[in-house]
Amino acid sequence: MKNATRTWLGVLSVAVSLVVFVIPFAFIVLTAVKDPQQASRLDFSWPHRFQLVDNLVQVVQARDYILVIAFINSVILTVASVAAMVVLGAMVAFVLQRRVTRWTGLINFLVLSGLIIPPAVVPTIWVLQKAGLFGTLPGLILVEIAFGLSFSILLFRAFIATIPRELDEAAVIDGASPLRLFFQVVFPVLRSVIVTVIVVQSVAVFNDFTNPLYFLPGEQNATVQLTLFTFQSQYTTSYNLLFMDILLITVPPLVMFLFFNRQIVAGMTAGAVKG
């Protein structure tokens, strides 16, 4: 490409991206620091008064620090369920890809079903109630694992297919047990796709609001997305606080993104496309 064209196209793209992608986020930030009167107009304007700290303190203190509790819950939920999705998903994918039996077809089918079938909500509540896990964080963690496993397995399976079998065979000849083979030989090789799974799934779990809404009712159990949803109906006159909440909830994905930007693309190359 010619240098002039590069510049010209670049400038145009940056301009368009500013309008399409940056303005909505600027709107969130601006509204979050406004005073309630100005924020309630919900227009795109420069704040008369910056009260970043005020709004931050107010939204954190709201309803007995529910946001702090929600952040703690969401972090536990995300870490626990994503860890399980990574380990269990990789185990399944490994055996599924490596060992073809007459069950392989069925298992592939079940994995795909998990991706396609919309979960049956009320019967899931019914099962959780029978197990005494309804409305508990462990219950929700298990639900997130169950619903997220399929996608993890597919990503892992696609990646494992690119790892030469010779690697396993060498390890087996060296006398490695299946567990050692998996955790010490294969698992490290999966590093890049593990990062992808972690990023994709933790974003999905952290941002999930439907499942917590169904499976984790109760005040002390709130997750961050639920606070957003309840704040939406409650802060009808305090949009500055609502948008401050949105802003706070956007921070963890942003951090994730800043750290793993490269790996996401790298992981997708191995995962999604070939899957």
Partner 1 sequence: MTTVVPTGPPAAEQPKLATRTRRSAQTHSPYPTWFYLPAAVIYGTLFLVPTFASFYFSLTRWTVFRSTFIGLDNFTEFFQEPALVKGFVNTFLYAVATSGLKVVLGLLLGILLTSQIRARGYLRSVVFFPVLVSTVGVGITFTALMDPSTGAINSALSAVGINGPGWLTDPSLALFSVALVDVWKGVGLATVIYIAGIVSIPQDYYEAARIDGAGPWQLFRNVILPLSWPATSTVIVLSLIGGLRSFDLIWAMTRGGPGFSSDVVASVIYKQYQAGFYGLSTAGNVILFLVVTAIIVPLSRFLALKEVER
Partner 2 sequence: MRSRTLAKRRAALAAAAVLPLLLSACSAGSLGSSSGDGSATTIKLLVDNAPDNLQAAKQLAKDFQAENPKIRVSVETRPGGTDGDNLIKTRLQTGSMADVFSYNTGSLFQQIDPTKNLAPITRDPYVKRLDKSFLPQVTVGDQTYGVPFGSALGGGVLYNKKVYAKLGLTVPKTWAQFIANSKKIKAAGIAPVIQTYQDTWTSQLLVLGDFHNVAAAEPDFAEKFTANKAKFATDANAAKGFAYLEQIHDLKLQNPDYASATLVKGLQMLATGRGAQYPMLSTVIGAIKTSNPDQLDDIGFFALPGDDAAANGLTAWFPNAFYVPKSTTGDKLTAVRKFLAFTASPTGCTSQAKASTPTGPYLVEGCTLPSDVPAITKDVAAYFTHDAQSPALEFLSPVKGPSLEQICVQVGSGITGAKSGAALYDKDVRKQAQQLGLPGW
Give which of partner 2, partner 1, none residue 173 binds (C-beta under 5 to 8 Å, depending on kind): partner 1
Of 12-20, 46-54, 55-63, 64-72, the window that binds partner 1 (rule: CB under 8 A) is 12-20
From 52-60, 63-71, 266-274, span contacting partner 1 (CB under 8 A): 266-274
Secondary structure, 3-state, the chain = CCHHHHHHHHHHHHHHHHHHHHHHHHHHHHHHHCCHHHHCCCCCCCCCCCCHHHHHHHHHHHHHHHHHHHHHHHHHHHHHHHHHHHHHHHHHHHHHHHCCCCCHHHHHHHHHHHHHCCCCHHHHHHHHHHCCCCCCHHHHHHHHHHHHHHHHHHHHHHHHCCCCHHHHHHHHHCCCCHHHHHHHHHHHHCHHHHHHHHHHHHHHHHHCCHHHHHHCCCHHHCCHHHHHHHHHHHCCCCHHHHHHHHHHHHHHHHHHHHHHHHHHHHHHHHCCCCC
Alpha carbon 195 to chain centroid, angstroms: 12
User: Would you give the binding string for partner 2 spanning residues 122-141, x where CB under 8 A is met?
Assistant: -------x----x-------
Which of 56, 60, 79, 172 binds partner 1 (CB under 8 A)? It is 172
From the list 41-49, 50-58, 59-67, the region that binds partner 1 by CB under 8 A is 41-49
Q: Which of 105, 132, 138, 178 binds partner 1 (CB under 8 A)?
A: 178
Tell me the HSE value of 44 on the side-chain side, using a 13 A CA sphere.
Answer: 7
User: Could you say which of 24, 105, 178, 217 contacts partner 2 (CB under 8 A)?
Assistant: 217
Site string for partner 2, 174-213 (x = CB under 8 A): ---------------------------------------x
Candidates 47, 63, 266, 275; binder of partner 2 (CB under 8 A) is 63
By CB under 8 A, tell whether 69 contacts partner 2: yes
Point out which span in 23-31, 51-59, 65-73 binds partner 1 (CB under 8 A): 23-31
- Please report how close the Cβ of residue 50 comes to partner 1 at its closest, in angstroms: 19
Among residues 54 and 209, whose Cβ is nearest to partner 1? 209
> Which residues in this chain contact partner 2 in the complex, by CB under 8 A?
40, 58, 61-65, 68-69, 129, 134, 213, 217-219, 230, 233-238
